[in-house]
Amino acid sequence: MKQVIDEAEEWVKKKLAHDRTGHDWQHISRVRANALFLSEKEGGNENIIELAALLHDVVDDKLVEDVEAAYKEVECWLAGKCISKQDIAHIIQILRTMSFKGGNRPRMTTLEGQIVQDADRLDAIGAIGIARTFMYAGSKGTALYDENMTVKNHMSEEEYRNGKSTAIAHFYEKLLQLKELMNTTTAKEMASERHTYMENFLAQFKREWNYCYENDYN
């Protein structure tokens, strides 16, 4: 299995080599590390977890034009590595369920899926999550902030993907919701610190945006 993991790593590196949205190889590497750490604490089939963590963004509709073709390619790639049909189906089920998409996805049904989803969501929050949010917004030409914009807490998948938003609004539309959506006990504990970090960042951002520092330098 180590050879398959190594080959998956190289395949994904090539697939995401030119990404500038925050879904690059470094993101994949962190998600894998998060997932393996969670697996040590929570259990699960480590091979399924590692492969799903490595492959999760090569089928992401933010990154590929033809999602179903991307899934078919992943299935064929795994079959070519002699992965069992049962394990392929499990990996594909994880990949199809893990995205946020405005909170409109069903809950993961397997521990392996819950771990990979938690690992990905941990990389969307905290200091790294803040950096990736602005990286993605910049790559798409999304505005930094609009204090007059009403944040949508509940959106359809279409609204989430294509509706007007800002980098700061994204924290309220998704990132600040993720702590409560973690599946595993370990991820919930890890998410708590990162969540607080984001709250502190947003408070400081708005102080600076609104020039609320006149009493700080008397």
So where are the chain's domains?
2-209
Answer yes or no: is pLDDT of 144 > 60.
yes
Structure tokens at 197: 């970090």
Q: Assess whether pLDDT exceeds 60 at residue 217.
A: no
Token pair 């803040």: residue: 130
Q: What is the mean pLDDT of the chain?
A: 91
* Domain 2-209 CATH class label: mainly alpha
Nearest CA to 74 among 98, 99, 91?
91
Would you give the DSSP letter of residue 63? T
**Would the pLDDT of 149 be above 90?**
no
CA distance linking residue 181 with residue 184, whole number of Å: 9
CB-based contact 157:102 (threshold 8 Å): yes
Answer yes or no: are the C-beta atoms of 50 and 35 closer than 8 Å. yes
Least confident window among 67-76, 88-97, 177-186, 204-213? 204-213
pLDDT at residue 212, as a whole number: 78
Contact 31, 119 (CB under 8 A): yes
pLDDT of residue 101: 66
Is pLDDT larger for residue 20 or for residue 165? 20
Q: How confident is the model at residue 155 (pLDDT cuts 50, 70, 90)?
A: low
**Average confidence (pLDDT) over 56-71:** 93
Categorise residue 60: left if φ over 0, alpha if ψ from -120 to 50, beta otherwise: beta
Dist CA 43 CA 23 (whole Å): 26
Residue 128 has pLDDT above 90, yes or no: yes
Question: What whole-number distance in Å separates Cα of residue 36 and Cα of residue 33?
Answer: 5
Contact 94, 52 (CB under 8 A): yes
| pTM as predicted | 0.91
For residue 159, the model assigns a pLDDT of 58
206 pLDDT more than 80: yes
